[in-house]
Amino acid sequence: MGLATRRPSGGIEVPDLINRLQRREVERVAADLAKTTGLTYQPSSRGEYVSGIVTRQLQLVSGRFAMLEDGLGFQLVPWQPVLDKQIGRHLSGVMRGSGGIEWKSWPA
């Protein structure tokens, strides 16, 4: 599975385990969504632009995520409480290092 490495001293090191497990879960769910929707998963990371219609909220073990669809593909981004009333609306923003999103467009 590639999560742990053995140290020369005999101990086991598991660097960044939580983040790696969270990424795996998101990638697994994204692959399932790609199969059912026919859309391509477009991963996003800090500093990258995200854009699309908020189509659904997903509850994963690692937290809640919003699905943003742009017609050709989709992105999964961390859910924020302000998104509760934005399902069905088009939003765009930039992923922040903290895991949140700095929204650039916000419908009234």
Residue with tokens 């765009």: 92
Query: pLDDT tens for residues 67-108?
Result: 999 999 999 999 999 898 999 999 999 998 877 888 886 655
Lowest pLDDT segment from 1-10, 52-61, 73-82, 86-95: 1-10
Backbone angles phi, psi at 12, to 5 degrees: -115, 135
Mean pLDDT, the chain, whole residue set = 89
Instruction: Name the burial class of residue 66, with classes exposed (0-12), middle (13-18) and buried (19+) by CB atoms within 10 angstroms of its CB.
Output: buried
Query: Which is higher by pLDDT, 16 or 25?
Result: 25
CA 71 and chain centroid, separation: 18
Q: Are 69 and 58 in contact (CB under 8 A)?
A: no
Instruction: Report CA Rg, the chain.
Output: 16
Q: What is the mean pLDDT of residues 21-46?
A: 95
Q: What pLDDT is recorded for position 11?
A: 78
Half-sphere exposure of 37 (CA within 13 A, CB side): 20
The verdict on pTM exceeding 0.75 is yes
Domain count of the chain? 1
Query: The domain containing residue 49 runs over which residues?
Result: 5-105
pLDDT of residue 108: 55
